[in-house]
């Protein structure tokens, strides 16, 4: 993330000495990604004095010079505009050996398609380990930079609302969200305005319309492909992808004059008093290696789904001997990630006006419904299609299908008693796999991608025949779900921990189910609603 001048000043002034001189903050936000950035912005705009603790990436050209150098070359080779000069298969192959050289410290992160454009935006896997059973891999992509994963170059930038059916699935295979129909609409609208979303008004039954700052029409190539898809499947919804540039939430929060941001601050425990109220956060300062205790009556855990759950598991006390929320028996459970199938290929030359801005695509929500209804146990999938001009009057075609995964108690995370990260904090053990329903769904996704390629007159050069392991879609969620009942959920309907009043968890760990849409818009809407609720209660308690 580029750091604006006000934020740069805030980062400089948030020294350890400055923090030690403050007895208590109004609020602490853990994590500076999508959720944490917005929480910091909304809480500080509401008048609270906010401290953001962000883990930070411990990487530099000096620490890993080979990776840095190969990263620079790969960045050029993976830029879509290079495809106008180098045939796509050659650009793809050229990146292979470079990847091998660069991946010694990032064997997991280098499996992300966007890693090639910015290896330094991802964590160092040696410093940040986790374990899985040998036969149940999970791919956990992580970024600890300011801005989190949303500001990684090559991020998809796709933002879609959940529908009423996504919040209250009718098949009974997962609990309804503790959200009334339409209740999130104003919060979606608020974050869409802040994102300055681009797209079109579509009136689709699968994805409610968004509040758009810029309404666009299809380009000639988009109109062409749309028409071809609809002539094959008249019932298929073909939308223009809704996208936005990365937000500058922390810069905006800095302008309030009420923000402090400490980089390299790794939260390791959230403290709760004997009455069940949050007290503050214990964290490790990377720079000095010291442990610091910081107090606040409001804490927002926004460290991303699995990191926030890891923190809840780490936060043990006589009141919560197995971690905050563990008494419900559901902490760490119901991990999900989209079943992802990707196809790439070479297509015909695109009509004029074809160089799209980043994030521009066609979106086919619930493409499984183009011909039939999904079998029981399958929640369906959507497809995002990207096309770029390529050499020799050709085009490059990328299609990605995301299918919903069912929440299962057996897909879970726990602390590994014998593995620690570079700061001595217990690592996560992640035990997760797709079920037969997801594998059956994936076979349909593969068939759909082949059909779409045929309709687009694309020759496929690479296609997933089976889904990559869970985690690969980057849409991991669940493990600290919200609900109406403290006996079966970790968070109340406003994302506040039943077991720790004043502690809010607003990243996707709270999702009881995941829809087939990309998750971040819903993370942001929930964060906005939780901030509003928390501020109202904070004011009532402090006036
Ligand atoms: C390449 C790529 C493309 C994607 N495309 C899309 C897309 O098109 N649409 C979409 O909706 N989603 C997409 N996603 C997923 C999306 O980026 C995530 O859903 C979103 O960023 C999650 O936001 P977050 O704030 O919960 O977590 P993150 O963005 O992961 O941020 C978490 C923050 O917490 C900090 N942190 C972690 N642990 C600690 C700790 N112990 N102490 C202090 N700080 C800590 C980290 O430093 C980090 O800054 C994509 C992801 C990737 C990687």
> Is position 158 within any domain?
no
Quote the Cα angle for 296-299-304, to 5°: 150
Q: Cα torsion for 416, 420, 425, 428, to the nearest 10°? A: -40
- Any domain includes 60: no
Together in a domain, 395 and 459: yes
**Are the CB atoms for 82 and 388 separated by under 8 Å?**
no
Residues 79 and 137 in one domain: yes
Q: Find out whether the beta carbon of 247 lies less than 6 Å from any atom of ligand 1.
A: no
What is the C-alpha radius of gyration for the chain, rounded to an integer number of angstroms? 23
For residues 288 and 340, membership in a common domain is answered with no
Pocket test for ligand 1, best of 1, 30, 31 (most atoms within 8 A of CB): 31
Supply the pLDDT for residue 393. 83
367 and 224 fall within a common domain = yes
Task: Look at residue 471 and tell me if it is in a domain.
Answer: no
Q: 149 alpha carbon to ligand 1 midpoint, in Å?
A: 4
How many A from CA of 253 to the centre of ligand 1?
19
The residue whose CA is least distant from atom 6 of ligand 1 is 156
Same domain, 128 and 198: no
Ligand 1 nearest atom to the CA of residue 521, by list position: 11
Of 438, 463, 488, the one marking the end of a domain is 463
Q: Give the per-residue pLDDT at 391.
A: 80
Nearest ligand 1 atom to alpha carbon 141: 53
Contact 263 CB / ligand 1 (< 6 Å): no
Are 177 and 96 contained in the same domain?
A: no
Last residue of a domain, one of 123, 151, 179: 151
Q: Is residue 253 part of a domain?
A: no
Same-domain status, 351 and 446: yes
Report the first-to-last Cα separation within the chain, whole angstroms: 37
**Are residues 19 and 134 part of one domain?**
no
Domain contains 242: yes
| Ligand 1 atom closest to residue 305's alpha carbon, by position in its atom list | 26
CA nearest ligand 1 atom 26, residue? 304
**Does the residue 80 lie in any domain?**
yes
Residues near 300 by beta carbon (within 8 Å), at least 6 away in sequence = 27, 28, 29, 30, 35, 36, 39, 43, 504, 505, 506, 527, 530, 531, 534
Q: Are 43 and 133 in a shared domain? A: no
Tokens standing for residue 272: 């709760």
| Ligand 1 contacts CB of residue 141 (under 6 A) | yes
Q: Is there a domain that residue 230 lies in?
A: yes
- Angle between helices 185-195 and 520-542 in degrees, nearest 10: 110
Q: Is 55 in the pocket of ligand 1 (CB under 6 A)?
A: yes
Same domain as 214, residue 347: yes
509: domain CATH number? 3.50.50.60
- The domain of 144 spans 65-151
- State how many domains the chain has: 3
Please check whether residues 355 and 450 belong to one and the same domain. yes
Residue 155 Cα: closest atom of ligand 1: 3
Distance 471 CA to ligand 1 centre (A): 12
Distance 111 CA to ligand 1 centre (A): 16
User: Going residue by residue through the chain (543 aa), what tens digit of pLDDT does each one get?
Assistant: 557 889 999 999 999 999 999 999 999 999 999 999 999 999 999 999 999 999 997 666 666 666 667 666 766 666 666 666 776 667 666 777 767 776 788 999 999 999 988 888 999 999 999 999 999 999 999 999 999 999 999 999 999 999 999 999 999 999 999 999 999 999 999 999 999 999 999 999 899 999 999 999 999 999 999 999 999 999 899 999 999 999 999 999 999 999 999 999 999 999 999 999 999 999 999 989 999 999 999 999 999 999 999 999 999 999 999 999 999 999 999 999 999 999 999 999 887 665 678 899 999 999 999 876 767 677 899 999 999 888 878 899 999 999 999 999 999 999 999 999 999 999 999 999 999 999 999 999 999 999 999 999 999 999 999 999 999 999 999 999 999 999 999 999 999 999 999 999 999 999 999 999 999 999 999 999 999 999 999 999 987
What is the reported pLDDT for 253? 98
Among 125, 151, 177, give the residue marking a domain's end. Answer: 151
Give the torsion sign (CA, 389, 390, 394, 396). negative
Q: Is residue 29 domain-resident?
A: yes
Residues 347 and 320 in one domain: no
Ligand 1 centroid to Cα of residue 228, in Å, is 35
């Amino acid at each position: 993330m580029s750091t604006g001048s006000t934020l740069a000043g805030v980062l400089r002034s948030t020294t350890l000495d400055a923090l030690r001189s403050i007895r208590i903050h109004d609020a602490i936000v853990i994590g500076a990604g999508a959720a944490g950035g917005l929480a910091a912005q909304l809480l500080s705009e509401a008048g609270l004095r906010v401290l953001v603790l962000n883990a930070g990436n411990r990487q530099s050209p000096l620490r890993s010079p080979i990776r840095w150098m190969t990263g620079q070359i790969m960045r050029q080779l993976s830029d879509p505009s290079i495809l106008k000069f180098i045939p796509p298969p050659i650009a793809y192959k050229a990146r292979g050996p470079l990847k091998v050289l660069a991946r010694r410290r990032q064997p997991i992160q280098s499996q992300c398609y966007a890693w090639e454009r910015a290896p330094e935006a991802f964590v160092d896997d040696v410093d940040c380990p986790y374990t899985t059973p040998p036969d149940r891999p999970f791919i956990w992509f992580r970024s600890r930079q300011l801005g989190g994963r949303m500001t990684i170059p090559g991020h998809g930038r796709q933002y879609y609302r959940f529908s009423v059916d996504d919040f209250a699935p009718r098949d009974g295979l997962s609990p309804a969200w503790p959200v009334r129909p339409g209740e999130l609409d104003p919060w979606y609208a608020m974050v869409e305005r802040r994102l300055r979303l681009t797209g079109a008004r579509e009136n689709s039954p699968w994805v409610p319309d968004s509040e758009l700052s810029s309404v666009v029409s299809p380009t000639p190539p988009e109109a062409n492909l749309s028409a071809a898809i609809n002539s094959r499947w008249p019932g298929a919804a073909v939308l223009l992808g809704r996208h936005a540039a990365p937000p500058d939430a922390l810069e905006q929060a800095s302008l309030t004059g009420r923000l402090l941001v400490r980089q390299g601050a790794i939260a390791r425990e959230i403290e709760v008093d004997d009455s069940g109220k949050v007290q503050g956060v214990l964290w490790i300062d990377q720079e000095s290696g010291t442990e610091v205790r910081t107090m606040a009556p409001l804490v927002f855990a926004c460290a991303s789904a699995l990191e926030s759950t890891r923190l809840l598991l780490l936060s043990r006390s006589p009141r919560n001997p197995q971690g905050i929320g563990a008494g419900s028996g559901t902490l760490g459970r119901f991990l999900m990630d989209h079943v992802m199938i990707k196809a790439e290929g070479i297509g015909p030359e695109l009509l004029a006006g074809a160089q799209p801005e980043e994030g521009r695509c066609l979106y086919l929500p619930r493409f499984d419904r183009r011909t039939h209804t999904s079998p029981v146990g399958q929640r369906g999938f959507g497809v995002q299609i990207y096309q770029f001009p390529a050499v020799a009057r050709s085009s490059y075609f990328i299609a990605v299908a995301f299918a919903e995964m069912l929440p299962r108690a057996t897909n879970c995370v726990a602390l590994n008693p014998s593995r620690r990260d570079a700061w001595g904090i217990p690592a996560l053990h992640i035990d997760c796999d797709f079920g037969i329903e997801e594998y059956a769904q994936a076979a349909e996704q593969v068939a759909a991608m082949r059909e779409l390629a045929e309709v687009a007159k694309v020759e496929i050069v690479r296609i997933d025949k089976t889904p990559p392991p869970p985690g690969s879609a980057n849409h991991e969620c669940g493990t600290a779900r919200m609900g109406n009942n403290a006996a079966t959920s970790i968070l109340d309907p406003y994302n506040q921990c039943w077991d720790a009043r004043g502690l809010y968890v607003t990243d996707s760990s709270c999702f009881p189910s995941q829809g087939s849409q990309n998750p971040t818009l819903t993370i942001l809407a929930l964060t906005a609603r939780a901030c509003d609720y928390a501020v109202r209660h904070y004011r009532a308690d402090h006036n």
